[in-house]
Chains A and B, each alone.
Chain A
Amino acid sequence: MRLGANVGELRTPWHERALPYLLLAPAVLVLLLLTIYPLIYAVTVSLQTRSGEWTLANFARLFSDRFFGVALLQTFIYTLAALIAEFLLGLGLALLLDSQIRARNLFRALLLIPMMLPPVVVAVIWRLIYNPNFGAINGTLKSWGLDTTKLTWIAGPQMALPSVILVDVWQWTPFMFLILLAGLQAIPQEPYEAAMIDGSSAWQTFRHITLPLLKPAILIALLLRTMDLLRIFDQIFILTQGGPGFATETISLYIYKTAFRFFDFGYAAAMSFVLLVLINFISIGYIRLLKRQEAKP
């Protein structure tokens, strides 16, 4: 019997042998029920017409649906813009806090607050701030005598997408910062000492020591943020509902509306299938990069 700890005990009773499986069974069952079953169900629904005949129409429609294309494009823009901004700001903050600083833990705790808030509350906060008439931003600018009629924030189609991206950056930069700071603090001192003896400049040290050693943490942070960004729903739903017009519609919102406003479950399922495949491909890409990173000496 190779049951790890039980090596040597040749005659283990059956319940001892079954124990590892029995302990796993409830978790596996619940997850099968809540992920695999819905997935199969979704595929089935997406391949059927409303009356139950088999069809590829839902998938064919993906290619002709302009709104789907726009939602997909906007999801990518949202993901990429937020990812870059959050990464750069988070890295900057992490480097700042990794240097010699007093009250580091206090700063860290305060900077993490936005990330902890319920997304719904974050959306309420920013609706208050973005309000074109009495919001914190336009109210302040107006009191300085500035013309704010063009600063529509989430209320106007031109500014809406950047505005919702800004909210994401506000809430989730702390996440990048936290993971990158942990990564920085896990880097041993020796390479830095060696670099100091060699007389490397700060930039050289950063480029040739910090960045390569931080790479695993960077990849993890980017992977987890990308997954979350691609399925963004909560904040946008409350901030703009995807509007004005279609200006901030992302794929998750479009799927939600298709399913629960137009009750077209088949088409919604087809779209969510595409999203799943997309997320899978992207995460496999990241995991490959990570593995390659780990394989290096």
Chain B
Amino acid sequence: MNAERQRTKKSSALGLMKYALLIVAVLAALLPVYWLLTISLKSEVDQFAVPPLWFAFKPTWAHYYETFFVRPFGRYLLTSSIVALTSTALALLIGTLAAYSLARFTLPANLHERISFWIISTRMFPPIVTIVPLFLMMRDLRLLNTLPALIIVYTGFNLPFVVWMMRGFFEELPRDLEEAAMVDGDSRMGALVRVILPLVAPGLAATAIFCLIICWNEFLFALILTQTDSAITMPVGIAGRVTQYEIKWGAMSAAGVVAMIPILVFALAVQRYLVRGLSLGAVKG
């Protein structure tokens, strides 16, 4: 009893410090993002003000106008969206079938476990190892500076992730479900589509969102496979301008803000699955 009372006393004394530390951490996490937001809304004079203006400036939308109506960032956004959506859909289709197979069938010689391990290990592949061959391959196929090049690469990029996530979701469902449907005369594929898929729909949606985020953020392959305005994605568009000699900070920041908004919304939507997704299922959140 005594020890417990001492503990509660101690914890109430520590309580304030805990919150103080947490607030410092939250500020450290968010102030840089807020800084980007302010730069995107400041006139050029205010951007270079010393001391920096954190609150007292007159907001302007001029940089957003410039970014999307004078510069081709609207186009980059569209490209990013098309590439992300198409490759996510493809990866989900191919990956879900494979995941179902790995979750439900026992193959001879433990083949299913071996294939599963191999698939997940391709995820560990450093992308830089494959860029030279993929660049040459896409050049030979005359796919450089086209959306299909990125769509193909991103589909492969997301596949291991989809297989791993979906396999976990399938394994959580009892086998009796399909078997009952199959006894009722459904084929296995019919049972998969009509019985199982609706049940894993939340997991499928979470997986899709993860894939979209990965595609949206991807930089290295996009940098190498696309160079023309008609094919470059948002990250490459931003990078191209940032590394130039004279940088338009306002326009850059505006592009950055617009690039991060969909990601933040999506990330919020998959909070529940975040741990599982990021640790590839190794840690259940």
Q: Which residues of A contact B (CB under 8 A)?
A: 2-5, 16, 19-21, 23-24, 26-28, 30-31, 33-35, 37-39, 41-42, 45, 93, 96-97, 99-101, 107, 109-114, 116-121, 123-129, 133-134, 136, 139-140, 142-143, 170, 174-175, 178-179, 182-183, 185-186, 196, 199, 216-217, 220-221, 224, 227, 230-231, 233-234, 237-238, 241, 251-252, 255-256, 259-260, 265, 268-269, 272-273, 275-276, 279-280, 283
Contacts and interface: CB of A to CB of B under 8 A. Distances in A.
B224 interface: yes
B49 interface: yes
B129 A39 contact: yes
A42 B51 contact: no
Nearest to A116: B267
B22 A27 contact: no
B33 interface: yes
Contact of A34 (B48, B153, B217): B153
Residue among B108, B118, B188, B283 with max Cβ neighbours from chain A (10 Å):
B283
Given A24-B102, A38-B133, A272 B35 contact: no
Contacts of B108: 2
Contact of A125 (B33, B47, B275): B33
10 contacts: A31-B119, A31-B122, A35-B156, A37-B137, A42-B132, A109-B271, A118-B263, A125-B36, A136-B32, A272-B129
B126 A124 contact: no
A107 B25 CA distance: 9
Interface in B194-221: 213, 216-217, 219-220
Contacts of A123: 239, 242
Interface string B117-130: 01100101111111
B122 A96 contact: no
Contacts of A227: 124, 126
Interface string B140-172: 000000000000110111011001000000000
Q: Counting chain B CB atoms within 10 Å of each CB, which of A21, A39, A120, A134 scores highest?
A: A120
A233 B219 contact: yes
Closest 10 CB pairs of A and B: A143-B51, A34-B156, A38-B133, A27-B98, A23-B101, A20-B105, A41-B133, A231-B126, A120-B235, A38-B130
Nearest to A120: B235
A93 B18 CA distance: 10
Contacts of A30: 94, 155-156, 159
A186 B223 CA distance: 40
A41 B128 CA distance: 14
B282 interface: yes
B283 A179 contact: yes
Chain B, interface SS category? helix
Contacts, number: 285
A2 B114 CA distance: 17
Given A100-B11, A170-B32, A256-B224, 4 more contacts: A19-B105, A134-B50, A183-B283, A216-B282
Interface in B39-60: 39, 47-52
A178 B129 contact: no
- Interface of chain A, main secondary structure: helix
B107 interface: yes
A127 B242 CA distance: 9
B50 A34 contact: no
Contacts of B238: 120-121, 124
B115 interface: yes
A292 to B, nearest CB: 15
Given A35-B156, A125-B33, A5 B132 contact: no
B216 to A, nearest CB: 7
B259 interface: yes
Nearest to A250: B128
Contacts of A121: 36, 238, 256, 259-260
A144 to B, nearest CB: 8
Contact of B128 (A24, A118, A241, A252): A252
B153 A120 contact: no
Contacts of A237: 219, 223, 239
B135 to A, nearest CB: 8
Q: Which of B52, B100, B179, B268 has the largest number of chain A CB atoms within 10 A? A: B52
Interface string B13-41: 00000110110011011111101100100
A116 B213 contact: yes
A144 B179 CA distance: 73
B119 A27 contact: yes
A100 B19 CA distance: 11
Contact of B94 (A27, A175, A251): A27
A280 B98 CA distance: 25
B235 A111 contact: no
Given A39-B129, A128-B35, A5 B100 contact: no
Contacts of A38: 129-130, 132-134, 137
A260 B33 CA distance: 32
B51 A139 contact: yes
Contact of A175 (B36, B160, B278, B284): B278
Contact of B243 (A100, A238, A268): A238
Contacts of A233: 127-128, 219-220
A238 B29 CA distance: 20
Interface in B240-285: 242-243, 249, 252-253, 256, 259-260, 263-264, 267-268, 271, 274-275, 278-280, 282-285
